Amino acid sequence: MSSTRFTDALTRLVDALPEPDDFPSTARNRELTARVGTWLGACFLLAFLTGVWSHLAQLPDPVLPLPTRPVWLYRVTQGVHVAAGTAAVPLLLVKLWSVFPQLFRRPPAVRRAQLLDAAERLSILVLVSSTSFQLVSGLANSAQWYPWSFSFRATHFAIGWVAMGALLVHVAVKLPVIRTAWLEPQGQPAQGTVSRRTVLGVTWAAAAVAVVTTAASSVPGVRRLSVLATRTGTGPGGIPVNKTAAAAGVAKAAADPAFALVVAWGDTERRFSRADLEAMPQTTATLPIACVEGWSASGVWGGVRVADLVDLVGAPTGSAVLVESLQRVGASSRSRLPGNVAADREAILALTLAGEPLSLDHGYPCRVIAPNRPGALQTKWVSRLEVRP
């Protein structure tokens, strides 16, 4: 094909495409876009800040030790993270619907304006793809569905920065339009099938449903409203079970009467049977399991202070403790208690929940529970505590 015939074909193709005016709607206008966009931006910002916090909380060796009080802080921030992300789904869909005719805008005639136009389209491509990726991967993670092979946490964290950067550029470029839309609303024509008010109403309702059905997975009593969460039931002691002993492949080892916990400090190694642990001074604490997937539940845990075990092997208070599970594989099979956490009086090697011996699925014979940390670090079926200098 000669180059002129190619250009002709391209021109005919472009002419055949619809133009923005081919998508008339009285509901779709600047104010709708600005309003939904502002709320969407707020959701993204909240999700970003709480996401960075969650990432810091899960670093094995945090640069900054996170505080252990208030004990419910991570529970709230992660609930907000998942709720904001879920609310962003309907907001993003309506936002895209409100602007998609712009996709068919013809490029400007002047070369300089063409470049700017291309740059803007590119930045929007980055914005739409990164935010869509965040919402889809986040929802899939909440549903414990991992149809990918990359590390969820590392990727979700990295793309979060891309999305935030693209969002900042977008807001900066659109600031004049956003200002006018909020400050000098045009009003709208009376005719039309769907009004802007209806679209806005449905959008807020969808976002509210998303928030309620997510947040409900953290509120006892209304947990059954959390239709969007996978952990809807309650398990023994009022706490849902994340992974069962059978699924973790530890059912036999955990129920073995010969079980002994090893506590190690340098060359010192001491072994404790479940009965030994029960005979030690016991403490209780009301602490939540706050899963990164968004659900959380509080329980009364009883057991031995980690600090007492550190003391028993002669290690200094404030040492970090490496926790190993009977479970051999999986990201949750080990965790680390930073020094400030291990020294906390509410960092417990739990033997009971709600006054009953720990159930096999909640981590029998013993599990870690400590204040203000992601559920993923509350290791179950603990077999070894290694105190680190």
Q: Which of residues 346-385 bind Mo ion (CB under 5 A)?
A: 375-376
**Is the bond preceding residue 70 a cis peptide, omega within 30 degrees?**
yes
Decide: 30 and 186 in contact? Cβ < 8 Å. yes
72 binds ligand MTE, rule: CB under 6 A: no
Is the Cβ of residue 39 or residue 74 nearer to ligand MTE in the bound state? 74
Decide: 164 and 123 in contact? Cβ < 8 Å. no
| Binding site partner of 316, from Mo ion, ligand MTE, none, Cβ cut-off 5-8 A by kind | none
Q: Tell me which residue of 256, 276, 237 sits closest to 362, measured CA to CA.
A: 237
Is the Cβ of residue 91 or residue 239 nearer to ligand MTE in the bound state? 239
291 binds Mo ion, rule: CB under 5 A: yes
Q: Which residue is nearest to Mo ion (CB)?
A: 291
| Binding site partner of 55, from Mo ion, ligand MTE, none, Cβ cut-off 5-8 A by kind | none
| Binding site partner of 239, from Mo ion, ligand MTE, none, Cβ cut-off 5-8 A by kind | ligand MTE
CB of 293 to Mo ion, least distance (A): 6
| Binding site partner of 39, from ligand MTE, Mo ion, none, Cβ cut-off 5-8 A by kind | none
240 binds ligand MTE, rule: CB under 6 A: yes
381 binds ligand MTE, rule: CB under 6 A: yes
The CA distance from 210 to 311, in Å, is 47
| Binding site partner of 240, from ligand MTE, Mo ion, none, Cβ cut-off 5-8 A by kind | ligand MTE
343 binds Mo ion, rule: CB under 5 A: no
134 binds ligand MTE, rule: CB under 6 A: no
State the DSSP string of 15-67.
HHS--GGGS--SS-SHHHHHHHHHHHHHHHHHHHHHHHHHHHHH-SS-SSPPP
* Ordered alpha helix ranges (H), 216-346: 245-248, 251-255, 274-279, 306-312, 339-342
Stretch that binds ligand MTE, among 121-129, 236-244, 255-263, 344-352 (CB under 6 A): 236-244
The CA distance from 121 to 117, in Å, is 6
CB of 220 to Mo ion, least distance (A): 18
248 binds Mo ion, rule: CB under 5 A: no
Q: Which residue has the tokens 């208690």?
A: 337
291 binds ligand MTE, rule: CB under 6 A: yes
Going by DSSP bridges, is the β-strand pair 261-265/382-388 parallel, antiparallel, or unpaired? parallel
Going by DSSP bridges, is the β-strand pair 334-337/348-353 parallel, antiparallel, or unpaired? unpaired
Binding test (CB under 6 A) with ligand MTE, winner from 41, 170, 380, 386 = 380
In this structure, the chain runs to a length of 389
The CA distance from 89 to 162, in Å, is 18
Stretch that binds ligand MTE, among 8-16, 129-137, 178-186, 379-387 (CB under 6 A): 379-387
**x/- map, 12-41, ligand MTE, by CB under 6 A:** ------------------------------
75 binds ligand MTE, rule: CB under 6 A: no
Is the Cβ of residue 43 or residue 376 nearer to ligand MTE in the bound state? 376
Binding test (CB under 6 A) with ligand MTE, winner from 167, 379, 383, 385 = 379
Residue 188 burial (10 A CB sphere; 0-12, 13-18, 19+): middle
287 binds ligand MTE, rule: CB under 6 A: no
Q: How far apart are the first and last CA of the chain?
A: 73
Is the Cβ of residue 138 or residue 375 nearer to Mo ion in the bound state? 375
How does DSSP classify residue 1? -
State the DSSP string of 334-356.
EEEE-HHHHTSTT-EEEEEETTE
362 binds ligand MTE, rule: CB under 6 A: yes
47 binds ligand MTE, rule: CB under 6 A: no
Question: 79-88 burial, b if ≥16 CB within 10 A, otherwise e?
Answer: bbbbbbbbbb
Is the Cβ of residue 91 or residue 353 nearer to ligand MTE in the bound state? 353
Contact positions vs Mo ion (CB under 5 A): 291, 375-376
